């Protein structure tokens, strides 16, 4: 397509190609918000979060009360006018109650561990990438050492040293998983320092903390958020694994891992003791991982052509 421009002096008109202004790419967060592919996973995760924040909306009976006369009732059994929709466990406790209240424990530990490990690891990665030199070498070598140690060995040593409790499980997971964020933040910081706006800020005499806060952190955070969404499902699995072997949240506080461990002895006669906690764990981790994959695709800085 061309446009004709006439010269005011009567010269011969010349044809010039018209310039098409390209459409600006939509911001990453707008594309995540408007995407419908992640909506089902987000809804399921929201249900889990609401269940953790307000368990009384879903169940009414106390989750810790036991009744040996009602032990190992099958799903749907009615006793004393109360319907046990998911049955009861070996101590006569309603399984649905413990499953709902166990959601609070699993999500609280997972979110807390992701937040603490992300903040600590990102801080070390940004500082190491900005300072470089000996400090960067020390931080990255320590991160490599932590990553080289098997998770369960390091987790068991940490929990045994600190003692099993909810807070200590969060500390344990933070100490185990911070190198993931550090490596990503370190690489993104090195890349950001080579960009023109960072070099310009240095040239006009901007201070180091100001450069980090205004220029480097906005470049690092999208990648850190992607890692955090993918790590959330891993934290749920790790918490359940520690509780399964008796190093996580201690009874009588309900935990999905502990419920799976208690139901092993009755798997042939009371299948519901392990089936329902396992299904709840599977659905949560599946939705978190699929949602994390979708967020990763939408926030990928190399994906310049994707838009909605």
Task: Give per-residue pLDDT as tens, 7-43.
Answer: 445 445 444 444 443 444 455 445 545 567 778 888 9
For the stretch 193-251, pLDDT in tens is 888 878 888 788 777 788 888 888 988 998 999 899 889 999 999 999 989 988 888 88
Domain around 65 = 28-298
Tally of structural domains, the chain: 1
Question: Is residue 9 domain-resident?
Answer: no
Chain segment 67-96, per-residue pLDDT in tens: 888 889 999 888 888 888 998 998 888 999
Mean pLDDT of 117-136: 93
Name the residue with higher pLDDT: 234 or 160: 234
Q: Is residue 11 part of a domain?
A: no
In this structure, is residue 12 part of a structural domain? Answer: no
pTM: 0.80
Is 251 among the domain residues? yes
Percent of the chain whose pLDDT exceeds 70: 84
| Residue 118: pLDDT over 80 | yes
Return the pLDDT at 27: 52
- pLDDT of residue 271 exceeding 90, the answer is yes
127 found inside a domain: yes
pLDDT band at residue 136 under the 50/70/90 scheme: very high
pLDDT at 35: 64
Is residue 195 included in any domain, yes or no?
yes
CATH of the domain at 84: 1.10.3720.10
In whole numbers, what is the pLDDT of the chain averaged over residues? 83
- 8 in a structural domain: no
Residue 19 lies in a domain: no
Across 111-138, average pLDDT: 93
Confidence of residue 292 (pLDDT cuts 50, 70, 90): confident
* CA distance linking residue 252 with residue 238, whole number of Å: 20
Q: What pLDDT is stored for residue 250 in this prediction?
A: 84
pLDDT at 185 over 90: yes
């Amino acid at each position: 397509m061309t446009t004709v421009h006439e010269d005011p002096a009567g010269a011969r008109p010349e044809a010039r190609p018209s310039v098409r202004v390209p459409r600006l790419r939509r911001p990453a967060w707008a594309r995540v918000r408007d995407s419908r592919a992640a909506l089902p996973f987000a809804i399921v995760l929201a249900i889990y979060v609401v269940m953790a924040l307000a368990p009384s909306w879903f169940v009414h009976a106390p989750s810790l009360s036991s009744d040996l006369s009602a032990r190992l009732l099958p799903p749907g059994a009615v006793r004393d006018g109360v319907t046990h929709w998911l049955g009861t466990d070996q101590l006569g406790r309603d399984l649905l109650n413990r499953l709902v209240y166990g959601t609070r424990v699993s999500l609280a530990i997972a979110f807390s561990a992701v937040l603490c490990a992300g903040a600590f690891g990102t801080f070390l990665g940004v500082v190491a990438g900005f300072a470089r030199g000996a400090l960067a070498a020390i931080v990255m070598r320590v991160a490599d050492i932590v990553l080289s140690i098997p998770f369960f060995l390091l987790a068991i040593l940490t929990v045994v040293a600190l003692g099993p409790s909810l807070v200590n499980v969060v500390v344990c997971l933070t100490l185990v998983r911070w190198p993931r964020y550090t490596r990503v933040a370190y690489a993104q910081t090195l890349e950001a320092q080579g960009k023109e706006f960072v070099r310009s800020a240095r040239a006009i005499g901007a201070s180091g903390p100001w450069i980090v806060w205004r220029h480097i952190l906005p470049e690092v955070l999208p990648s850190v958020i992607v890692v955090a969404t993918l790590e959330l499902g891993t934290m749920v699995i790790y918490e359940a694994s520690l509780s399964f072997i008796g190093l996580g949240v201690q009874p009588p506080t309900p935990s999905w891992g502990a419920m799976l461990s208690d139901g092993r002895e009755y798997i042939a006669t009371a299948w519901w003791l392990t089936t329902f906690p396992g299904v709840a764990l599977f659905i949560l981790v599946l939705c978190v991982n699929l949602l994390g994959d979708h967020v990763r695709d939408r926030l990928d800085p190399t994906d310049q052509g994707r838009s909605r």
